[in-house]
């Protein structure tokens, strides 16, 4: 008998995008480390990679992240 049971977090009716299988899954199929979500609909889950790309681009261009004025201009690290 196992001391610990392997549990996957999630509920039926919640949608996830599995990074390992590259597909939309409902409920607790794959481990949390391998998925994005939860999403309310399968369509939102299908767009998970696009959403992540859009958010990363927004964050990269957010002036709050690039507010230092004393950055070196010669390409050397800070």
Predicted confidence (pLDDT) per residue in 15-65, tens digit: 999 999 999 999 878 898 999 999 999 999 999 999 999 999 998 888 887
* Mean pLDDT along residues 59-73: 71
How far from each other are the two terminal CA atoms of the chain, in whole angstroms?
54
More confident residue, 77 or 54: 54
CA distance linking residue 48 with residue 68, whole number of Å: 32
pLDDT at 7: 54
pLDDT at 65: 74
């Amino acid at each position: 008998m196992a001391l610990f049971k392997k549990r996957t977090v999630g509920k039926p009716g919640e949608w996830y995008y599995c990074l390992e299988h590259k597909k939309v899954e409902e409920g607790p199929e794959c481990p949390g480390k391998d998925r994005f979500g939860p999403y309310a609909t399968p369509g939102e889950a299908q767009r998970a990679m696009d959403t992540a790309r859009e958010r990363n681009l927004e964050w990269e261009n957010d002036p709050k992240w690039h507010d230092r004025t004393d950055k070196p201009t010669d390409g050397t690290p800070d």
